[in-house]
Amino acid sequence: MTQRRRPTIHEVARVAGVSISSVSRALNGNTSNADMVARVNAAVREVGYVPSVVAQSLKTRHTGQIAFAMEDIGNAAYLEMVRRIQPTLRDEGYRLLLHSTGADVEDELGVLASLSQNYVDGLILCPLRVTDRHVEALRQTAVPVVVIGLLPDDVPVDNVRADSRVGARLAVEHLAEAGARRIAFIDGPLDTVPGRARYDGFRSGLAAAGLPEDDDLVRFTDFQFDAGRRAARELLTGHPDVDAVLGANDLIAMGVLHALRDLGRDVPGDVRVVGMDDTPLAATSFPPLSSVSLGSADRGRIAAELLLRRLDGDDAPPERVTVPPSLNVRESSR
């Protein structure tokens, strides 16, 4: 392998016998002389020229990169988003930079501050919590940002929301309709945006169904399988009259299914179970898990599209898009 340096536009110009400006024009379609274009292309092939994106970026002031920052790519909801965001961006010639913040608020703010000032043309952000400092940072970003998740109304930033409040409510209403009277809820941390919204939705669902609230039937834990399993086991042991459980995400709901099986209760015969996020887990569990789809894939796609529009120069006022939730009923609640 040759250790030679990559050929530059100067090399191409020399071989083609033209000036570097002409090469640049020919390559960027800013020339009408077909002969010139042909000569340049021939020279490009001859020397194996590949433009330096870095130099281009320096000159043109955009990098062709977009960052997606979230807590943990391991989370199925974020994963669904990435799967849609990446192709959407790629089709428009953008590369995707991935940044997991690991639930570290400082890191998240650091991303906002430094990412946005550098090496990306735009940013899609999924903050788990939104503090005043987030809002402040969002007001000052140097590049367009789209936030996926709940954002105060006065923050001038494009915002794609899932209505997990309505989602939780849908689930509760569905369970009540199916005959459940003692509905338990296993939530994530109450101080997270989704944890809070889902709890509110749960309560409003109870109210809508005319069922009493009972704090004993609610647990706040983590959005994880083991946490859900433990909490469910404890709750169901203490309250054997529970006839339905809503898990704040599919992992928790899977934990609930396992706890029920450990306790010898039949699903959905004795207890109905519904999860949230409608991840691939839901369809493959046993019994297949009813789950509230919050449209993660759609949110990802929409966020990417919004961002692309901004990058295209659209300076309309910030948009708020809410993706409506939908309930996917499977056997676990039928």
Partner DNA sequence: TGAGGCGAGGGAAACGTTTCCGGGATGTGG
Partner DNA sequence: CCACATCCCGGAAACGTTTCCCTCGCCTCA
Contacts with a copy of itself by CB under 8 A lie at 1, 6, 50, 52-55, 57-58, 63, 65, 72-74, 79, 82-83, 86-87, 90, 95-100, 102, 114, 117-119, 139-140, 142, 225, 251, 254-255, 257-258, 261, 280-281, 283-286
Bridge partner list, 115: none
Tell me the CA distances in angstroms from 125 to 23, 193, 219, 229, 283, one per residue in order.
39, 14, 28, 30, 28
Q: Residue 46 or 191: which CB sits closer to DNA?
A: 46
**What are the two backbone dihedrals, phi and then psi, of residue 306, each rounded to the nearest 5 degrees?**
-60, -45
Q: Which of 55, 51, 49 is nearest to 12 (CA)?
A: 49
CA distance 257 to 271: 9
Residue from 31, 100, 204, 326 touching DNA (CB under 7 A): that is: 31
- Residue 65 three-state SS: strand
Is residue 32 a contact point for DNA (CB under 7 A)?
Answer: yes
- Work out what residue 334 binds among a copy of itself, DNA, none; the CB cut-off runs from 5 to 8 Å by kind: none
β-strands 290-293, 326-328 pairing = antiparallel
- Least Å from the CB of residue 225 to a copy of itself: 5
Q: Residue 190 or 283: which CB sits closer to a copy of itself?
A: 283
Q: What is the DSSP string of 219-242?
A: EE--SSHHHHHHHHHHHHHH-TT-
Residue from 42, 46, 48, 52 touching DNA (CB under 7 A): that is: 52
- Work out what residue 28 binds among a copy of itself, DNA, none; the CB cut-off runs from 5 to 8 Å by kind: DNA
Residues 168, 276 contacting (CB under 8 angstroms):
yes
CA distance 116 to 19: 36
Quick one: which H or E segment has residue 185? strand 183-187
- Least Å from the CB of residue 34 to a copy of itself: 26
Q: Residue 135 or 209: which CB sits closer to a copy of itself?
A: 135
User: In this chain, which stretch among 58-66, 142-150, 155-163, 274-282 interacts with DNA, using CB under 7 A?
Assistant: 58-66
- Work out what residue 9 binds among DNA, a copy of itself, none; the CB cut-off runs from 5 to 8 Å by kind: DNA
The site for DNA (CB under 7 A) is made up of 5-6, 8-10, 17-25, 27-28, 30-33, 35-36, 49-52, 54-56, 58-60
